[in-house]
Amino acid sequence: MERLASFSNDPFDKPPCRGCSSYLMEPYIKCAECGPPPFLLCLQCFTRGFQYKKHQSDHTYEIMTSDFPVLDPSWTAQEEMALLEAVMDCGFGNWQDVANQMCTKAKEECEKHYMKHFINNPLFASTLLNLKQVEEAQNADSAIPFHSADDPPRPTFDSLLSRDMAGYMPARADFIEEFDNYAEWDLRDIDFVEDDSDILHALKIAVVDIYHSRLKERQRRKKIIRDHGLINLRKFQILERRYPKEVQDLYETMRRFARILGPIEHDKFIESHALEFELRREIKRLQEYRTAGITNFCSARTYDRLKKTREEERLKRTMLSEVLQYIQDSSACQQWLSRQADIDSGLSPTIPVATNSGRRSAPPLNLTGLPGTEKLNEKEKELCQMVRLVPGAYLEYKAALVNECNKQGGLRLAQARALIKIDVNKTRKIYDFLIREGYITKA
């Protein structure tokens, strides 16, 4: 059986004859029952029945030659390879030099044959296109692109930002350290040789199969990170905070099952649960209206307004009961009145309240009319009320801490206290709040 043996005419590119160790010239013999590596013999050794180890003279064989046409009946495979090598050596268009190097074809024959079969041949054009498409598909499966309008971030190795991005390098679309990063070490000393026993050969094949399974696991983890958008952890946390607290707890519990459901199915599940939570809360509100005897939404708005008024009155009664506790102590009563005056004017009180029973906590700060209050959400308003911090100052402290965290990749409490020159207890509460809400990360 004849076949094209190589894309080179150089005999030094082929292994030597296993019988006499001479360089092989076509045609030569290849044993069909031995190998790998291929067992090759020259014609002289083949005719005298050379035998070596597993190779026997009665084995089936193949005649390896390139003396047959491939693209044109008047051109052999050996001449096709010689033409391609000559074009590579002399350059495209130098047909006289190509013909001189080939020695078997004229200048016009070389140019005509090359243009017809290698330039204007639609078969080769479609094959190159398919190869390009296959290469693009392989790159699309292995690389994880970073789509951003800005210059991609370049976090330093082992920084907090690099760990948050799972070691992903956006500029290279790859990871600093792969999963099972030293899987290739098990293959570095493996070499398949002909003298291997059957058991040793099977063992090496098993090691290669194990390595392939580890590569599949590496690609599977990359696919999970790409499909679920887990590269940018900060963005993922911001999206998670849009849900109510109860839904966030479910999100945290169900995260381990996301790789089984898939990204779309997992998001549908979370969104459906968030919708269920909203419906239950609305049903509870409507049941409250029904219990109060309300049958239309106009009455419901009146009911909500009156309910809010009752809550404010209850708070006032609580404040009055607080005053009655100081009524027996004139000094404590005077301090309490001064503190309430500061609160009403929007200032932070400076006089602590001291009683015979010990220190008492200050009431929440009234944020009504203070600049910057409209820029705060409900949780931030509650924080400012509890730590008695005006909104403008809180916004300045928050911006300073967030900027420093972005620069350092994380922030420690000691660094926060160095940036904010206020009471250390207030700094601790602000720092814990920003950590809990995801505005900054702990170093």
* Peptide bond connecting 145 to the previous residue in cis, omega within 30 degrees of 0: no
Give residue 347's pLDDT: 58
Instruction: List CB contacts of 395: < 8 A, sequence separation 6 or more.
Output: 372, 375, 376
Give residue 399's pLDDT: 87
- The answer, as to whether pTM is greater than 0.85, is no
Rounded distance, CA 366 to CA 360, Å? 18
Rounded distance, CA 147 to CA 323, Å? 61
Give residue 283's pLDDT: 92
Class of residue 222 by CB neighbours under 10 A (exposed 0-12, middle 13-18, buried 19+): buried
Instruction: List CB contacts of 313: < 8 A, sequence separation 6 or more.
Output: none
Give residue 361's pLDDT: 61
The DSSP 8-state label assigned to residue 365 in this structure reads: P
Enumerate the domain spans of the chain: 28-64, 71-125, 160-234, 243-288, 296-348, 378-437
Coil vs helix vs strand at 54: coil
Give residue 333's pLDDT: 63
Give residue 144's pLDDT: 54
What are the CA-CA distances from residue 422 to residues 376, 419, 425 (Å)? 20, 9, 9
Question: Is the separation of the CB atoms in 262 and 274 below 8 Å?
Answer: no
From the list 286, 323, 319, the residue with the least C-alpha distance to 303 is: 286
Amino acid at the residue 399: A
Selected from 1.10.3720.10, 3.20.20.10, 1.10.10.10, 1.10.1370.40, the CATH number assigned to the domain covering 378-437 reads 1.10.10.10
Coil vs helix vs strand at 2: strand
CATH class of 71-125: mainly alpha
As given in the structure block, the two tokens for residue 408 are: 């350092």
Question: Is the separation of the CB atoms in 370 and 346 below 8 Å?
Answer: yes
Question: Is the separation of the CB atoms in 98 and 90 below 8 Å?
Answer: yes
As given in the structure block, the two tokens for residue 98 are: 């190509």
C-beta contacts of 166-174 below 8 A and 24+ residues apart: 166/225, 166/230, 166/231, 166/233, 168/144, 168/225, 168/231, 170/146, 171/146, 173/143, 173/144, 173/145, 173/146, 174/143, 174/144
Low-confidence residues of the chain, pLDDT below 50?
1-9, 11, 351-358
Rounded distance, CA 363 to CA 340, Å? 9
Q: Do domains 71-125 and 378-437 have the same CATH topology?
A: yes
